[in-house]
Chain A
């Protein structure tokens, strides 16, 4: 199950960057790119939230993280 979700995440990322390359190469309209990116965004967050995030952070809460 985890591997399927990971595959879905990778495909979502591919669907974010792929249309941009196609748009640059005149193989996709901007409106299609926008729709594809929205669908890929939704699928990324759904799929990834189901498997990612179990790793531990090495940064304590008091660490002043970068804001830039």
Chain B
């Protein structure tokens, strides 16, 4: 077996990646570009419009936020990944102990279940176009028709069974779909923009004309739709920066970037950010903005009908595949996380059970309709572990503390790390509930709280032990 094959079959999971198995820049470019153009983009773009975002705030905010995300990968994740060359889980196990990693897995698995549920929701909106059953509105919390429940049930069952039978086929299919999907997203944007120009009779001869159309007709700003939080420049910037917080600041991409020859390969994440989180979000937001322009009372964020209107059956296929290829590995990985807690159960059964939970979650449109908040919570919950890894790697020796403490001491639950995690989440919730800090921003002070807490608590914990 070659080392490339070894990497793909999951070797080097408890050892540093050897030099001979390192990968070139192109591998990361393709992976990031494909991975970040997913079903979620079809919800996030429209939800920006529902949040009353203005043209400047959206375009400049996304540019800056994505730049900050790329810098987080380049400056925080990639240097540790290329020095240590271990997976996130193995590194966490060395620092936190096996039991705390299991708890981290559980939190990850639960969040993955809900995110997979929202992707099942996205795919089910495409089914609704064919079968014309009532679909949920922007403010709906509960399923609103039997047809909707049946559609989610069928889509969820298919995705779960496929995930239980095999991950690799879907992964291969997702790789094939990725370049096509990126272009279909781009077409969504071009068609919606053209429809705007036609509907308004605007004369577009220069970028200035286009910008005027964007400011006055497409992303007009103003009040958000009922039930939505108003998004300003800073909301957009922080959302774009933190929506993948678990991956960069939270260090989940240590597992990916440990294969990088150089730490600057983290810059490949720009392909994902500026294709998926810039172009695709703008394109999806254009579809929804045009729907509102045509009928301001139609506030439903339903990717199926939006895509069908712009691109017909190909658009619907894109919605189904985007939701499916995102939900499938998510259910599979959530299943793996749960299996670590129930090792006696088969992977097949656990994945099916996980899929059932995701499917039930998918029936409740509130998760997809509140995706902006949910993604921010997801990042906040997993972020403290990234701060713990950062502090362990860069600061522990300077403060006379022992790195990889769980491994060195043989403990299975590093209480300094565990308390850091719980107290940071508590502090973040406290800041949101009592200090009026919105969930989109709270992870920034949260990271510093986690870093300081881990240093202080480790000082006491390591002295006592």
The stretch that binds A, out of B144-152, B181-189, B227-235, B440-448, is: B181-189
Query: Total contacts A to B, CB within 8 angstroms?
Result: 143
Q: In the assembled complex, how far is the CB of residue B33 from the closest CB belonging to chain A, in whole angstroms? A: 12
Cβ-neighbour of B336 out of A33, A38, A61, A67 (below 8 A) = A61
Chain B residues positioned under 8 Å from A17 (CB to CB)? 183, 186-187
Whether B255 lies near A60 (C-beta < 8 A) is yes
Nearest CB on B from A14, distance (A): 9
A44 contacts across to B, CB distance below 8 A? 180
**Nearest CB in chain B: distance from A54 CB, A:** 9
Residues in A with CB closer than 8 Å to B183 are 13, 16-17
Instruction: Report the separation of the CA atoms of residues A59 and B372 in the bound assembly, to the nearest whole angstrom.
Output: 27
Chain A 1-38 per-residue mask, 1 if CB under 8 angstroms from chain B, else 0: 00000000000110011011101100000110111011
| B244 beta carbon closer than 8 Å to chain A | yes
**Chain B contact residues: over half helix, strand or loop, or mixed?**
helix
Complex contact B176–A52 (CB within 8 A): yes
- Distance from A3 Cβ to chain B, minimum over Cβ atoms (Å): 17
With A40-B314, A53-B175, A68-B44 given, is the CB distance from A62 to B10 under 8 Å?
Answer: yes
B206 within 8 A of partner (CB): no
Whether A30 touches B191, Cβ cut-off 8 Å, given contacts A67-B112, A67-B119, is yes
With a cutoff of 8 Å between Cβ atoms, the chain A residues found around residue B333 in the complex are 61-65
Interface size class of B (residues with CB under 8 A): 35 or more
In angstroms, how far is the closest chain A Cβ from the Cβ of B34? 10
Question: A37–B314 contact, CB under 8 A?
Answer: yes
A35 vs B419: C-alpha distance in the bound complex, in angstroms? 58
Known contacts being A33-B191, A48-B176, is A56 close to B8, with CB within 8 Å? yes
Assuming the contacts A13-B180, A62-B87, A66-B247, asked whether A57 and B190 have C-beta atoms less than 8 A apart, the reply is no
B171 contacts A by Cβ under 8 Å:
yes
Chain A residues near B193 (CB, 8 Å)?
A: 24
Closest CB of chain A to B405's CB: distance in Å? 23
Q: Does B89 contact A (CB under 8 A)?
A: yes
Contacts of B438 in A (CB 8 A): none
Q: Is B312 an interface residue (CB 8 A)?
A: yes
Beta-carbon contacts under 8 Å, B1-49 to A: 4-5, 7-8, 10, 13, 23, 27, 31, 35-36, 38, 40, 44
B180 x A24 contact (CB < 8 A): no
Determine if B172 is an interface residue (Cβ-Cβ < 8 Å). yes
Check if A63 sits within 8 Å of B252, measured CB to CB: yes
Question: Which residue from chain A places its CB closest to the CB of B177 in the assembled complex?
Answer: A45
Is the Cβ of B314 less than 8 Å from the Cβ of A65? no
Cβ B88 vs Cβ A60 within 8 A: no
Task: Give a binary string over B158-178; 1 marks a CB under 8 Å from any A CB, 0 the rest.
Answer: 000000000100011101110
Q: Which of A34, A57, A68 has the most chain B CB within a 10 Å cutoff? A: A68
Roughly how many angstroms separate A40 CA and B318 CA in the complex, as a whole number? 13
Interface pick from B58-66, B123-131, B324-332, B361-369? B324-332
Other 19 A-B pairs with CB < 8 A, given A24-B190, A68-B277: A13-B180, A20-B187, A24-B194, A35-B312, A38-B312, A45-B180, A52-B175, A52-B176, A53-B175, A59-B256, A61-B333, A62-B87, A62-B89, A64-B88, A64-B246, A64-B252, A65-B330, A67-B112, A68-B40
Q: Which positions in A face B, CB cutoff 8 Å?
A: 12-13, 16-17, 19-21, 23-24, 30-31, 33-35, 37-38, 40-41, 44-45, 48-49, 52-53, 55-68
Q: Could you write out 26 A-B pairs with CB less than 8 Å apart?
A: A16-B184, A19-B187, A20-B191, A23-B191, A34-B315, A35-B312, A37-B187, A37-B312, A38-B314, A45-B176, A49-B173, A52-B175, A52-B176, A56-B7, A57-B175, A59-B256, A60-B7, A60-B8, A60-B10, A62-B13, A63-B88, A63-B252, A64-B112, A65-B330, A66-B35, A68-B277
